[in-house]
Structure 1
Amino acid sequence: MRILWTVLLALYLLPAQAEVLKFAFAANEPPISTQAGGVASGLIPELAELVVRLTPELQYQGTVLPWARAQYDVERGKLDALLTYPSDSRKAYALFTATPAYHLDFGYLIFHKDHPKRAQLEAAKSFADLESFIFVAQQGAEFEEQNVPASINRLYANQLDGVMHLLLKRRDGDFAIMQPEQAVYLAKGFGYARDLAMQSVDFIPDAKIPFHVGIRRSHPQAAVLIERIEQTLHSQAFQREREALLQRYR
């Protein structure tokens, strides 16, 4: 009997087996989400890994796929989780945290650090203050078309690469609107890092897009895991480490 109790006590004291949470991420969207050496990398995968690391009895696993396939694999139950905007279509197959883990923030003006009217750009309080400037826009970018008034003069580039060339190399325009992480990534890639300046503004509509952790509804522990992750998102440890992580990308 004593041996039996010893065995039972040993089993009780063993650490609980950690739940492996398999995240799906988008491919080829650096620096937000990409793949390096066969491993998920970028800001979103690092944030997801941080959330899991700070949540007891959870283990992280990341898979990078074309974004449509990534979402499909979560919906079908092949993978478990996303860190993304909780759209109505995604809420149909996933439970999301009430608290965002991160905001994709387009509320920044990007411009050349030696712009002769830099002080005026930095002091802008509304789009009316920018009507004498030329906005370097990306052709087909719906966010810009919907949120930047038609009264702002535009110079179009086909891709974000072209936006940076026009703005920081040729200096044909005055400012762009971009996430700071993406602006820094592109500027470094083209050797323009020393020329880059940015200013946070609060007058761009819908500039902050919340990214929440979502777990497929078919997961047997979905509600419990979401509740535990929600607690992690409110912890000082997560908020402190998230800020340090964001600073590395900015």
Structure 2
Amino acid sequence: MRLLVLFFLLIPTLVTAAEPMHFVYYDNYRPRSWNDNGTMHGILVDIVEEAVGKRLGIPVTHTGYPWKRAQLMVKEGIADAFITMPTAERRTYTVIGVEPVIEFALRIVTQKDNPKIKEMELITSIEQLKEYEVTDYLGNGWAERNLKEVTVQWLPEIDKIFPFLVEKRADLIVASKRTAYDMKRLGYESQLTILPNKLSSVSFYLCVGKNSPYKDRLNDFDRILKEMHEDGTIDRIEESYYRD
């Protein structure tokens, strides 16, 4: 009888342990995350699958939504985690790792025939962009926070910024490797160029909801991410999406 009681007491624990960790992503963020007929793909998805699913043995699910909705799902405890830049607001409802998931440089994209290109190659800080007309898309959180002192023509979506630049209605875009990926995908690499000088860098971190049962596993996640950086796994995953 005592063993039977113990068995039933253990059932909730066993069920909880088997519950997958539900990751949510921006569903239109190639090549980092995107939805293709209901299945999520991308750099972040592959990293999570390797780190959490394979190396830690935690079952995971991957679902994409408009970005604001994805974040709200973690805030409300409907989903467990997402990967992005930490902000003060996100810290109110998530616990955030110390090991970056991905890191990337920000550089200038401009027209190949821009007469200011030589002087642009000397730019090494956001402060120096005040002398130029910049364009970017609404919803780019980094740009909205860091380009407040710069003249920016805000466009409704990322696909619009490339023709805007080609038409010489702005001098430059501050771009990550992902922006360059879109530039190539949309056929603008013959007209636009990425300058070699680095303006800044950005790191994305794992953000686990404070309501998630996995919030206490953050040290494990950090340990595995560090291991994956050291053994080159994350670099290989990223390059598999960016190479020709």
With normalisation by structure 1, the TM-score equals 0.70
Matches of 2:62 and 2:228 in 1, distance apart?
24
Partner of 1:217: 210
Matches of 2:147 and 2:36 in 1, distance apart?
35
Partner of 1:183: 180
Partner of 1:121: 120
Contact 2:30–2:178 at 8 Å: present in 1 too?
no
Partner of 1:110: 109
Matched position secondary structure for 1:86? coil
Contact 2:228–2:234 at 8 Å: present in 1 too?
no
CA 1:129 to 1:76, structure 2 compared with 1: closer, same or farther past 3 Å? closer
The farther-off stretch of 225-234 and 89-98 is 89-98
Matches of 1:94 and 1:114 in 2, distance apart?
45
Shift of 1:164: 0.8
Q: Which runs of 5+ in 2 are unaligned?
A: 1-16
Across the two proteins, how many residue pairs are aligned to each other? 224
Residues 1:243 and 2:235 aligned together: yes
With normalisation by structure 2, the TM-score equals 0.72
Contact 2:96–2:206 at 8 Å: present in 1 too?
yes
Contact 2:123–2:199 at 8 Å: present in 1 too?
no
User: CA offsets per residue over residues 153-184 of structure 1, 9 Å max, x none?
Assistant: x573634333211323x345432212221232
Contact 1:52–1:60 at 8 Å: present in 2 too?
yes
Where do 1:97-176 residues align within 5 Å?
Answer: 97-103=97-103, 105=105, 107-126=106-125, 134-138=132-136, 144=143, 147-148=146-147, 156=153, 158-159=155-156, 160-168=158-166, 170-176=167-173
User: CA offsets per residue over residues 58-111 of structure 1, 9 Å max, x none?
Assistant: 233101123333233333433222212333443333322121212365x21012
Matched position secondary structure for 2:79? coil
Partner of 1:22: 22
Residues 1:195 and 2:191 aligned together: yes
Overall identity of the aligned pairs, in %: 21
Amino acid at match of 1:232: I
Where do 1:69-108 residues align within 5 Å?
Answer: 69-103=69-103, 105=105, 107-108=106-107
Contact 1:32–1:44 at 8 Å: present in 2 too?
yes
Q: Which runs of 5+ in 1 are unaligned?
A: 1-16
Matches of 1:83 and 1:33 in 2, distance apart?
10
CA 1:173 to 1:95, structure 2 compared with 1: closer, same or farther past 3 Å? closer
Matched position secondary structure for 2:123? coil
Matches of 1:142 and 1:83 in 2, distance apart?
14
Q: Which has the larger radius of gyration?
A: 1
Matches of 2:148 and 2:79 in 1, distance apart?
41
Amino acid at match of 2:56: P
Task: Give the RMSD, CA atoms, in angstroms.
Answer: 3.5
